[in-house]
Amino acid sequence: MTKPLKFTNVQRSTFFATARERADAYFKERNLSRHANGAMWAKTIFFLTAFVVTYGLIMSNQFSVPVMAALAAVLGAICAFIGFNVCHDAMHGSFSANKHVNKGLGLVFNLIGASPYVWNITHNVVHHTYTNIAGHDEDIEVAPGLIRLDEQEPVRWIQRFQHWYAFPVYGLASLSWVLRKDYVKFFQPKIGQQVANHPRREYFNLFFYKAIYYVLFIVLPLVVLDITWWQFIIGFVGMHFVEGLVLGLVFQLAHVVEGTAFPLPNEQGDMLEAWAVHQMRTTANFSPNSRLASFLCGGLNRQIEHHLFPKVCHIHYPALAHILRATAHEFGVPYLENETFLGALKSHRRMLRRLGAGAYAEAQKPRTRVAA
């Protein structure tokens, strides 16, 4: 059984207290809300409109099968961007000061096939607390036995090739989420260290909203569209492959690149560092100066700012980045960044190769005996 884990600030670091004080001063001096501004609402309207229009174009049955397949792929990307830009902030409570607005926008998560309730436990609670800690952060358990991201996990022969096949596997993440993952997580005895004790209404919500999704994306297309069953499968899988690949890459490039740590607790179940310092060691930004990346990824290209200030809307992350970077350098705390998406992608692939092929080659080396 996994021992309860806690963070012990043995260094008595005041890094986070200082960063938080400076962030508070930034908003107060400028009389700014920490929540969505006009630009954020414009993004929200744009992506939600794109979702409705693209879905409507497919369901109009006015296009050829290849065009509908292309629209399905576009819809998959839009679903991922809605998850990043709208639902993610809403479910963290950072979109609006009004909890009803956050809850309403969080429900949109059901329309991309995922349960906001399960996500809140796996991501907001478990991942954000125990980032990159094996046995606690289930987000690094992408495909156990197939993809190795934990140095403590035994290496298997097939993982020699994981730097090639990992990316197609990421593309299956959304399909798994819709058809399997939410059910598995919901009925697990524990998620990370969180004991499953779900309110009765959440049992209804899980199946009710999944049913709505299946009707919208499986039943109606099969009934309305002039396509065969196998053409539907190609479109459905293609949509989720694009969605899953986008979702998977944004997560992996933030936590599984060169420089990020995968620390373990001591025998007493303690992490001998402050929680905020742990976040800085296990998280990296990518394409931080790219407006396109910030627009599409909902600020999740600045995961450092997100992990330290999850209750602040991502539209404010560029300003927080200046504060965090300077404070991190002042306190000697890591501030990890890959300047470009391609650079982060290459770094992630090198990590996969080291943890797969490199680890397997090392394990095959003969052990030299020590003379008695």
β-partners of residue 127 are none
- pLDDT tens digits, one per residue of 31-75: 999 999 999 999 999 999 999 999 999 999 999 999 999 999 999
B/e letters for 26-40, b = 16+ CB within 10 Å, e = fewer, are beeeeeeebbbeeeb
Q: In one letter, which amino acid is 84?
A: F
pLDDT of residue 3: 58
Contact 22, 323 (CB under 8 A): yes
Instruction: Enter the tokens of residue 39.
Output: 């630009």
Query: In this structure, what DSSP letter does residue 310 have?
Result: T
Model-level pTM? 0.91
pLDDT of residue 193: 67
In angstroms, how far is CA 353 from the centroid of its own chain?
22
DSSP 250-266: HHHHHHSSTT-------
| Residue 343: closest CA among 269, 293, 307 | 293
Report the SS3 class of residue 356. Answer: helix
- pLDDT (tens, 9 = 90+) of the chain, 372 residues, equals 455 788 988 888 999 999 999 999 999 999 999 999 999 999 999 999 999 999 999 999 999 999 999 999 999 999 999 999 999 999 999 999 999 999 999 999 999 989 999 999 888 888 998 999 988 887 778 888 899 988 888 899 999 999 999 999 999 999 999 999 999 999 988 776 667 788 999 999 999 999 999 999 999 999 999 999 999 999 999 999 999 999 999 999 999 999 999 998 888 888 999 999 999 999 999 999 999 999 999 999 999 999 999 999 999 999 999 999 999 999 999 999 999 999 999 999 999 999 999 999 988 887 655 444
Contact 347, 63 (CB under 8 A): no
Q: Is 73 exposed, middle or buried (0-12, 13-18, 19+ CB in 10 A)?
A: middle
Domain spans, the chain: 6-360
CA distance 52 to 235: 17
Contact 139, 149 (CB under 8 A): no
β-partners of residue 6 are 270
